Amino acid sequence: MKKIFYIVLDGLGDLPIKELNNKTPLEAALTPNLDSLAQRGKTGIVYPVAKGIAPESDIAVISLLGYDAHKYYTGRGPLESFAEGLIIADGNLALRVNFATVGTDGKTIKDRRVGRNLTIDEAASLSKEINAKVTLSSATFEFKNTIGHRGVLVLRGMRSKLSGWITNTDPAYEREGAFGIAKEKFENLVAESLPMPGFENSSEAKEAALLLNEFTQKSHKVLNASATNKRRVAENKLPGNIILSRDAGDHLPKFPRIESLYNVRFGSFVQMPVEKGIALLTGLDVIDVPSSSGHLDVDYAIWAKVALDSIKKYEGIYIHIKGPDEPAHDGDFNKKKEVIELIDKFFFADLLLQLDMNNTIVAVTADHSTVCAIKAHSADPVPLLISGGNVKPDGSLSFSEKAARLGSIGELLGRDIMPLLVKSAQD
């Protein structure tokens, strides 16, 4: 069986941008290594979850690993909380959260991510204050910062179990069933959590929403008074003075292990808690990689080396690279283009230099499109390339959204990719 490198570039897809001569950042980027993979392989387009869904990374990654997200997904909160070592019993309420900035009215959001410059030490200090100084009327809780402005929250009811069928306080995301969906337009106000439609009479959903709103208000008072935030304001930085919550769930998903589905042992290296949680719950070994140096040229070269060293232990490796997503959320199309070029130059160049492509399958795709024009995820499809082994070239000249629409793979759903890769590795 041939080795599999399954590489997902977070938020890679986009739409044409006038300032880039009506090209997407991927189309405008100089990517000789990705283009060479496309030229020796075949391409197509992927709807990561389904047509019409602008997915968050969690449901997209679940789908890309071959699972039906509609069947298994229980919310992003449980996945990230589990990855951070928090215990989630059935009936506990787990949420993904952001530190954010609100004005003096306590409701108008100035920045959903605290200017993207909240340090780990600052976030840890704020988290410590929340855990020490906030007391809820009928629940205990654990709050933990993760990466940058991100964190997780687990609420444990004293009177009853809590239901995850509640709405977000983060206005940038809504719930469609269990799925979290990014909004293209939203009002910049902290939302009140409510039971979701169909659960208005659920005492467990009512209690969960009340407790989340109580936590939001009480933690805001603590954060406003925090010396850490006062110091940030004195330094002309935004304070992290509100917690925005989303993607609640009240139990962990129960995935069949990936090895039992495909008879393939996979390792993974991932950057974000949600991907780590999915990897652990689906039975992918998590490969340790050095912490980011802050220099992408260094980091991507190290990741290529880790991938080459690690593949000896596995039939396949799932690699999730966050790079393109963050500048797209900031609307910075030039930075997104630059990051794509760095991935090509320092990750793919180093990787391909040492691969025996006759005995290797390389797949590259994305978990979703993050469109610079709207600074958000969209329902647009993403490109896919599959190369190596006995894959016959289909005449694709480059790797891009436009070129992939002409490829022989055609249109796929995310959950179709993994079976296709395993079959290609066995041919």
Dist CA 276 CA 417 (whole Å): 20
Q: pLDDT category, 181, cuts 50, 70, 90?
A: confident
Mean per-residue pLDDT for 341-358? 95
Chain centroid, CA 271 distance in Å: 9
Two tokens, residue 60: 């997209």
Interstrand relation of 316-321 and 285-286 (parallel, antiparallel or unpaired): unpaired
Burial class (CB in 10 A: 0-12, 13-18, 19+), 41: buried
Residue 290 has pLDDT above 90, yes or no: no
Dist CA 4 CA 239 (whole Å): 44
Residue 388 has pLDDT above 90, yes or no: yes
For 68, other C-beta atoms within 10 Å of its C-beta total 12
Percent of the chain topping pLDDT 70? 100
Residue 184 has pLDDT above 90, yes or no: no
What is the value of pTM for the model shown? 0.86
Two tokens, residue 396: 């694709």
Average pLDDT, the chain: 95
Is residue 377 a contact partner of residue 22, using CB atoms and an 8 Å limit? Answer: no
Mean per-residue pLDDT for 205-223? 98
